[in-house]
A = this chain, B = another copy of it.
Amino acid sequence: MVNEKYHGLGTAPSVIRELFAYGLQQAKVVGKENVFDYSLGNPSIPAPAKVNETIKKLIDTTDSIQLHGYSMAPGFENVRQAIADNLNARFNCNAKASELFMTCGCAPALVSVAHALTTSPEDEFIAIAPFFPEYNVFFTCAGAKLAVVPADTVHFQIDMDALEKTINEHSVAVVINSPNNPSGVVYTEETLKKIAELLEKKSKEYGHPIYIVADEPYRELVYDGVKVTFIPNVYDNTIVCYSWSKSLSLPGERIGYVYVPEKCADAKAVYDTVSGAAREIGSVCPPTLTQKVIGECVGEMPDLAAYEENRNLLYNSLTEYGYECAKPDGAFYLFVKAPNGDAVAYSEKAKLDHNLLVVPGDGFACPGYFRLSYCVSNDMIKRSLPAFKAMIESYK
């Protein structure tokens, strides 16, 4: 009597949620300080002070009906203009308010784009392993297929030959997530230019544009001055999905956007169709107060010192113990090779022997690796190091 597919989604076990629940349970048994939970990607640095200051200021200066009333379906014009101005200043592009469609976070942004670009059950979106597991849900439930390019496990950039072989006449878009969840790797400008070249060639070959859908919630989370290339600057047919969940530590406030640059193929039709899809999923008029906050705080940058300190401690320690790990330039993840190649077994043993909670890469379409979310306290990392050391030694 209910839709089987969605029932499956609603009842599917989640490795991450189960690890997290196990950690809460074990904390009661062995003490919170003896559980090392690297499972969740929930930001651990506070939002910039200006966020809460702005909320208070808006409350004091704005009529309740304006402050909490409906926004326009695509979001407030002045907020979108502020975002466009910020993009233009930082990425030397030519964004306009009319190219931005605001959403309740990145998830409905991706869903709206998936729905908008899917015209046939043969349509394929292409994901590069490792990737965020919800892509499977968003793109297949839009009625398309998700084709997977196996991970480049040498550098966690992109295996261009594998990508080229995956592209066919049904390809609609390649989904690019950089800085990457779960690898923490930033795709180099060289990698992105190669993709652009390949997609231009393939678009001509098949007679239709193959888009890049750039999923960019981690865009501002990079270390050591590494540059994150703004993908529309290297490939015209790029549609950006963004959220402030990580960059302003506002994951709970559900605010993001779809950016369809005018230079993109069929830009107006794509934008209009994204807005129609957002309507169909009941996700228009994103939160008013939060939109207004973004309008004033779009220029704020996160204080990444804590994440960087965590990354350095964890990366240096683990490689010193003998672990192999992708070079983590961004986001707040490390993607570590399981000592004997079985990450599920590693995760289970680490959990049972050390209350060390790590997520196997299988769900990210990259078995043999496990993900560490280092958006945790530096103290917890320090306390957890002996467990990592004991774990790798147990494999020797």
Q: Name the contact of A282 in the complex, choosing from B43, B70, B111 (C-beta under 8 A).
A: B111
Interface string of A132-155 (1 = CB under 8 A from B): 001001100100000000000000
What 0/1 readout, one digit per residue, does chain A (273-291) give for beta carbons within 8 Å of chain B? Answer: 1111101111111111110
Name the residue on B nearest A269 (C-beta): B2
Contact across chains for A1 and B276 when beta carbons are under 8 A apart: no
Among A44-52, A88-96, A157-165, the stretch that binds chain B is A44-52
Residues 95-116 of A, flagged 1 when their CB comes within 8 A of B and 0 if not, give 0000000001111111100011
Contact B253 A289 (CB under 8 A): yes
Q: A266-B1, A270-B2, A283-B281 are in contact. Are A252 and B115 (CB under 8 A)?
A: no
Which of A23-31, A59-67, A326-334, A350-358 lies at the interface with chain B? Answer: A59-67
Question: In the complex, what residues of B have CB within 8 A of residue A42's CB?
Answer: 65, 69-70
A372 at interface (Cβ–Cβ under 8 A)?
no
Interface residues of A in 1-21 (CB under 8 A from B): 1-12
> By the criterion CB–CB under 8 Å, are B253 and A119 in contact?
no
Distance in angstroms between the alpha carbons of A315 and B52 in the assembled complex: 44
Q: Are A44 and B56 in contact (CB under 8 A)?
A: no
Q: Is the CB of B274 within 8 A of A10?
A: yes
| Main secondary structure on A side of the interface with B | helix
Q: Using A47-B64, A275-B10, A280-B138 as known contacts, say yes or no to A287 and B3 having CB atoms under 8 A apart.
A: no
Q: Are B279 and A137 in contact (CB under 8 A)?
A: yes
> What's the Cα separation between A136 and B21 when bound, in Å?
40
**Is A252 in contact with B288, judged by CB distance below 8 angstroms?**
yes
The answer to whether residues A276 and B11 also contact, given A46-B64, A64-B46 and a CB cut-off of 8 A, is yes
Query: How far does the alpha carbon of A290 sit from the alpha carbon of B67 in the complex, in Å?
Result: 13
Residue of B nearest to A272 (CB): B10
* Interface flag for A298 (CB, 8 Å): no
Judge if A250 is at the interface, Cβ distance under 8 Å: yes
Q: How large is the interface on A (under 10, 10 to 19, 20 to 34, 35 or more residues)?
A: 35 or more
On whether the beta carbons of B65 and A280 are closer than 8 Å, the reply is no
Type the 1/0 row for A64-80, where 1 means its CB is closer than 8 Å to any CB of B: 11011111000000000
User: Which residue on chain B has the smallest CB distance to residue A254?
Assistant: B287
Chain B min CB distance to A64 (Å) = 3
Tell me whether A265 is interfacial, beta carbon within 8 Å: yes
A137–B148 alpha-carbon span in the complex (Å): 32
A249 within 8 A of B: yes
A208 contacts partner chain B, Cβ-Cβ < 8 Å: yes
**Does chain B have a CB within 8 A of A251?**
yes
Q: Which of A218-264 contact B (CB under 8 A)?
A: 249-254
- Interface status of A209 (Cβ within 8 A of chain B): yes
Is A117 positioned at the interface, with any CB of B under 8 Å from its CB?
A: yes
- Whether A118 is near chain B, meaning CB under 8 Å from some CB there, is yes
Q: Given contacts A10-B273, A249-B68, A272-B11, is CB(A104)–CB(B59) below 8 Å?
A: no
Chain B residues, Cβ within 8 Å of A3: 115-119, 273, 276-277
Name the B residues within 8 Å of A43 (CB-CB). 65, 69
- Flag whether A55 is at the interface (Cβ < 8 A): yes
Interface centre among A2, A11, A65 (most CB of B within 10 A): A2
Contacts of A286 in B (CB 8 A): 254
> Bound complex: CA of A161 vs CA of B166, how far in Å?
57
Give complex CA distance A274, B10 in Å. 7
Query: Hey, which chain B residues are within 8 Å of A55, CB to CB?
Result: 55, 59
Q: A2-B119, A69-B249 are in contact. List 9 more A-B contacts (CB 8 A).
A: A4-B119, A7-B116, A9-B279, A68-B252, A104-B287, A137-B279, A141-B280, A282-B283, A283-B283
9 A/B residue pairs, CB under 8 Å, sorted by A: A1-B269, A2-B117, A2-B269, A2-B270, A7-B269, A9-B275, A9-B276, A64-B249, A68-B253
